[in-house]
Chains A and B, each alone.
Chain A
């Protein structure tokens, strides 16, 4: 056996094992720092307008239709939430801060009940300019919502640019939302 072949037979599998280990390490690191979520799905709505809907208001606020978000004066968020959803209560403080900074956030209460919703807003604050109620979840299915909370970023032309499933965290806001706000301002 030539020395080159001997070296290859030792080196190639070793290099493959090292590359594999490195790959898994990066994957796990990114999962740990919440930069990668293996359960997250790309939304087919990205690059499109939300499907037609007309939803009544809730909690004394005006509801809205797809035409109301077809051309917002500045980029906005549509946040799907529910009073029965624990991560929604967790992200409420973050939404409150974003609203304070001047970001328009419109809420859609998913399969919620009036009294619980009022209670939820009283407890966690109300960052929403409008709140619509999707009582039977039909609009959610048309949007491809598969859980709450889900947040959609809509640009000035009414096109969905980003969907995030799960509670918004500081990391997500700094790494993704703020750059998007700058890009589509």
Chain B
């Protein structure tokens, strides 16, 4: 029992033993920071729309990074953090949008393009095999052309 209490007392020290980092005003462990970076990397910065929140220098992106880190420290699961963002900014905030009636065309496009390509190939292909033999008229005309 006494040993257990001793080990429990050591627990905070274990946390301290990990490298702590501070980013956007929130201090967290390296593991938590990696998690936060992974979440932020999936989110679009709404100010410069082709950058992720992690990469953007916009002020809003910094505020959102800080919110993500605060929630990571509080132990909020990744899914809920992403949901928090989607609730506010819509699914556009996700760099990889989920499959939905609104986005399914996006994901169906490669398959559709393949189908269109194959059908174009199929219907556009040339007939192979020997051409039909010449009839008497054609043979005569050919004879004339060759002898010209």
A143 pairs with B88, CB closer than 8 A: yes
A44 pairs with B49, CB closer than 8 A: no
- What distance in Å separates the Cβ of A174 from its nearest Cβ neighbour in chain B? 27
Chain A positions within 8 Å of B7 at CB level: none
A42 pairs with B90, CB closer than 8 A: yes
Verify if A9 is at the interface (C-beta below 8 Å from B).
Answer: yes
B88 pairs with A44, CB closer than 8 A: yes
Verify if B139 is at the interface (C-beta below 8 Å from A).
Answer: no
A144 pairs with B89, CB closer than 8 A: yes
Nearest CB in chain A to that of B90: its residue: A44
Q: How far is the CA of A118 from the CA of B139 in the complex (A)?
A: 99
Give A31-60 as 1s and 0s: 1 = Cβ < 8 Å from B's Cβ atoms: 000000001011110000000000000000
Verify if B135 is at the interface (C-beta below 8 Å from A).
Answer: no
Q: How far is the CA of A143 from the CA of B88 in the complex (A)?
A: 6
Interface residues of B, CB < 8 Å — how many? 15
Give B55-68 as 1s and 0s: 1 = Cβ < 8 Å from A's Cβ atoms: 00001100110010
Count the A-B residue pairs with Cβ separation under 8 angstroms: how many? 34
Interface residues of A, CB < 8 Å — how many? 14
Verify if A179 is at the interface (C-beta below 8 Å from B).
Answer: no
B88 pairs with A41, CB closer than 8 A: no
A41 pairs with B89, CB closer than 8 A: yes
Instruction: Give which listed residue, B47, B49, B88, B90, contacts A141 with CB less than 8 A.
Output: B88
- What distance in Å separates the Cβ of A23 from its nearest Cβ neighbour in chain B? 15
B63 pairs with A137, CB closer than 8 A: yes
B47 pairs with A146, CB closer than 8 A: yes
Verify if B46 is at the interface (C-beta below 8 Å from A).
Answer: yes
Contact flag A147-B89 (CB < 8 Å), given A9-B124, A141-B63: no
Q: How far is the CA of A146 from the CA of B59 in the complex (A)?
A: 10
Chain A positions within 8 Å of B59 at CB level: 111
Verify if B87 is at the interface (C-beta below 8 Å from A).
Answer: yes
Chain B positions within 8 Å of A143 at CB level: 88
- B binding-site residues for A, Cβ under 8 Å: 46-47, 49, 59-60, 63-64, 67, 86-90, 92, 124
- A binding-site residues for B, Cβ under 8 Å: 9, 39, 41-44, 111, 137, 141-144, 146-147
- The 5 A-B pairs with the shortest beta carbon distances in the complex, nearest first, are A146-B46, A144-B88, A44-B90, A144-B89, A41-B92
